[in-house]
Structure 1
Amino acid sequence: MSALTSLFASLVGRLAELVQPLFHTSATAAAIVLFTALVRLAVHPLSRAAARGQKERARLAPQMAELRGKYGKNPERLQRAVLELHAKEKVSPLAGCLPGLLQLPAFFLMYHLFSSSRIGGEANELLGHSLLGAELGGRWADALGEGGVFGPAGTVYLALFGVVAVVATFTYLRTRRQLAAAGPDRPEQALPGMGAMTKLLPLMSFATLITVAVVPLAAALYVVTSTTWSAVERVFLYRDAPAAGALATAG
C-alpha cells in the first residue's frame, strides 16, 4: 500500500505542476479535479456499456410484466423466471454497478493519501496544500474550528455543499420524472421489493453531503467532481430511454 500511495502522490504532484501556471496556490486542488476527470474518462466506456445494458432491461419490460402477472403470487418463482429471462437475453441485472465499483480504489487512495502524515517514510508535503485557505488534508470540523461556517475554509465547504445539493436535487427530480414516464410496467417492478428500493435509492444522492463533511477535503473534491460528472453523463447516456435512465440513476 505504501508503494502504491507513493506512486499516487507522485502522480498528483505531476498533475499539480502541470496546472500550476493556471491555478497557482490551488494547483493541487485543481490536480485532484483533473485526476477525477481522468478516472471518469477511463471508466466511461464501461458507463456506456452499462447504459446499453439498462436499455436492454427496459426493452424487456413487456416480458417481465407478463412474468409478474403469471408468478406475482410466488415471489421466489418470479425472481427465478426473471433471472432466466435475463440469462436468455444476455442482459446483466447488475449492468450499472461496475463503473462505480471501479472508482472505489481511486477514492480510497485519495482518502489514504490525504489522511497520512508520512508517505514512504517521508513527511507528506501534500497535506500543506490548500484550496482558498482550506487545507486539503483537513475536514469540515477543522474548518469550523478555525474560522467558523463563514470563514475562508468554511466558505469552501459551503460551496461544495451547494454543488452537491444542486446535483442531488437534479438527480432526484429527474429520476422521479423518468419513473413516472416509464409507467407501471417499468422493469424493476418485476423483482419483489425492487420498486420500494428504486424509490429510496435516488435519495442516497443526498448522502454525499455527509461524505463531503467527514472526509479530507481532497477526497471531498473527488466525490463532488465524480458525482457531478455522473449527473451530466447520465443525461446524455440515457436521454432516449426514460425507464433505463431512472434505473441507472437509482443505482
Structure 2
Amino acid sequence: MNPYDFLPIRVLVEGAYWVVTTLSDLLVPLAGAESAAVAIVLLTLAVRAALIPVGRSQAKANAMRQRLAPELAALQRKYAKNPEVLQRKTMELYQREKASPLAGCLPLLIQMPILMAVYGLFVRPEIGGEDNRLLSHTFMGVPLDATLVNVVGGGSAYPTSIIVFVSVMALIGVVTWLSRRFVQLPATQVAVEGRPAPVASAAGMPQMPDLTGLTKALGYMPFVTVIIAGIAPLAAGLYLLVTTAWTFVERLVLSKTIGAPSVHETQR
C-alpha cells in the first residue's frame, strides 16, 4: 500500500501543498525562481515555531536525565554485583523523580510525518487531483525534486548540482556536530563511552530495559540526516537543514534557560 494513499498522510500532504504553493505564488515578486524553496524554509520555520512547547518539554526531560545520570552511575557501581537491588533502586529512582528513560522522544516522532509530507510534495506527480506544480521549481538552478543519487546515477551531474547538494549535506553535518559538541547529554555520553549499564534483572523482578544500545544509537542518529539529505529530494534536504539548525539553537537556548549545563560546560 502506498503510504500517501493513507488518509491522514494524504490530507497532510495536500495541506502542505496548499501552503507551499500559496506562499510560493506570493513570494514570486521577491524570490523569483527560488520562491518555492523560500516557501519550504518558511513552512519549516512555522512548524518548528509551533513545536516550541514540545521542544521545551524535551529540554526538561533532557535536564532530568542529566540530573539523574550521576545517581544512576553511582547505583551501577554500588550494586553491580547485586542485580536485584540494582533493579529495584533504579526503578525507585525513576518513580521518585516521576521520570522515564524514554521521555522527550515525542519531537522525534512528530517530525516523521512532517518530513514525509515534504518528501511527498516532490515525488508525487499529482496532488489533490491536479498536476504537481512544485516539480517545476528550482533552487540555485537545481530542481527541487532532484536527488543527489539520481543526478549522479543518471550521468547528468553538473558542478552546480553537486555543489548545492554537497553544501546542504555539509551544513547539516556541521550543525549536527555542533549540536553533539555543545548540547549532547552527559547521560548519553556515558553510554557512548561504554561505562557500566544496568544488568539483567533478577528472577521475579520486573524487567528494566537496558537502554545502553539504544542511547548509543540515538547519539549518532542525527548524522543519518546527512545521508537522508543525499537520497531525498533537494526540497526535503532544505527542510532538514533548517530544522536541524533550529533544533540546535533551540536546545542551546533552552539548556541555558532551564538550567541544564551543556556538555561543554560540564567538561570545564
Query: Which category describes the TM-score, using the shorter chain as reference length?
Result: 0.7 to 0.9
| TM-align CA RMSD | 3.1
Cα distance, 1:214 vs structure 2: 0.6
Q: Aligned residue for 1:206?
A: 223
Corresponding residue SS for 1:60: helix
1:192-203 matches, within 5 Å, as 194=211, 198-203=215-220
Cα distance, 1:3 vs structure 2: 4.1
For 1:215, the aligned partner's letter is A
* Alignment check: 8 A CA contact 2:175 2:248 kept: yes
Q: Aligned residue for 1:132?
A: 140
Cα distance, 1:38 vs structure 2: 1.1
* Alignment check: 8 A CA contact 1:28 1:130 kept: yes
With over 3 angstroms needed to count, the CA separation of the structure-2 counterparts of 1:34 and 1:191, relative to structure 1, is: farther
With over 3 angstroms needed to count, the CA separation of the structure-2 counterparts of 1:3 and 1:55, relative to structure 1, is: closer
Q: Aligned residue for 1:148?
A: 157
> Comparing 164-173 with 122-131, which one deviates more in the overlay?
164-173
**Residue 26 (structure 1) aligned with residue 34 (structure 2):** yes
With over 3 angstroms needed to count, the CA separation of the structure-2 counterparts of 1:148 and 1:103, relative to structure 1, is: same
Once residues 19 and 128 of structure 1 are traced to their aligned partners in structure 2, the CA distance between those partners, rounded to angstroms, is 16
Corresponding residue SS for 2:51: helix
**Residue 169 (structure 1) aligned with residue 164 (structure 2):** no
Q: Aligned residue for 2:122?
A: 114
- 5+ residue gaps, structure 2, are 1-6, 200-209
Structure 1 residues 58-101: Cα deviation after superposition (integer angstroms, max 9, x where no partner): 33345424422343235576345323321222123222211121
Aligned residues: 240
Q: Aligned residue for 2:3?
A: none
With over 3 angstroms needed to count, the CA separation of the structure-2 counterparts of 1:200 and 1:22, relative to structure 1, is: same
Return the TM-score normalized by structure 1. Answer: 0.81
Structure 1 residues 37-56: Cα deviation after superposition (integer angstroms, max 9, x where no partner): 11111111111122122222
* Alignment check: 8 A CA contact 1:25 1:130 kept: yes
Q: Aligned residue for 2:206?
A: none
Once residues 77 and 66 of structure 2 are traced to their aligned partners in structure 1, the CA distance between those partners, rounded to angstroms, is 17
**Residue 95 (structure 1) aligned with residue 106 (structure 2):** no
With over 3 angstroms needed to count, the CA separation of the structure-2 counterparts of 1:153 and 1:79, relative to structure 1, is: farther
> Comparing 39-48 with 90-99, which one deviates more in the overlay?
90-99
Q: Aligned residue for 1:234?
A: 251
Cα distance, 1:208 vs structure 2: 1.6
Once residues 179 and 226 of structure 1 are traced to their aligned partners in structure 2, the CA distance between those partners, rounded to angstroms, is 23
* Alignment check: 8 A CA contact 1:179 1:242 kept: no
For 2:239, the aligned partner's letter is Y
Comparing both structures, which one devotes a greater share of its residues to helix? 1
**Residue 36 (structure 1) aligned with residue 55 (structure 2):** no
Q: Aligned residue for 1:249?
A: none
Corresponding residue SS for 1:237: helix
Once residues 3 and 41 of structure 1 are traced to their aligned partners in structure 2, the CA distance between those partners, rounded to angstroms, is 21
Q: Aligned residue for 2:68?
A: 60
Q: Aligned residue for 1:220?
A: 237
With over 3 angstroms needed to count, the CA separation of the structure-2 counterparts of 1:234 and 1:79, relative to structure 1, is: farther
With over 3 angstroms needed to count, the CA separation of the structure-2 counterparts of 1:166 and 1:66, relative to structure 1, is: closer
Corresponding residue SS for 1:96: coil
Identity of aligned residues (%): 37
Corresponding residue SS for 1:9: helix
Corresponding residue SS for 1:115: coil
> Comparing 26-35 with 222-231, which one deviates more in the overlay?
222-231
Q: Aligned residue for 2:131?
A: 123
- 5+ residue gaps, structure 1, are 247-251
Q: Aligned residue for 2:207?
A: none
Once residues 175 and 242 of structure 1 are traced to their aligned partners in structure 2, the CA distance between those partners, rounded to angstroms, is 8
Q: Aligned residue for 1:15?
A: 23
* Alignment check: 8 A CA contact 2:146 2:234 kept: yes
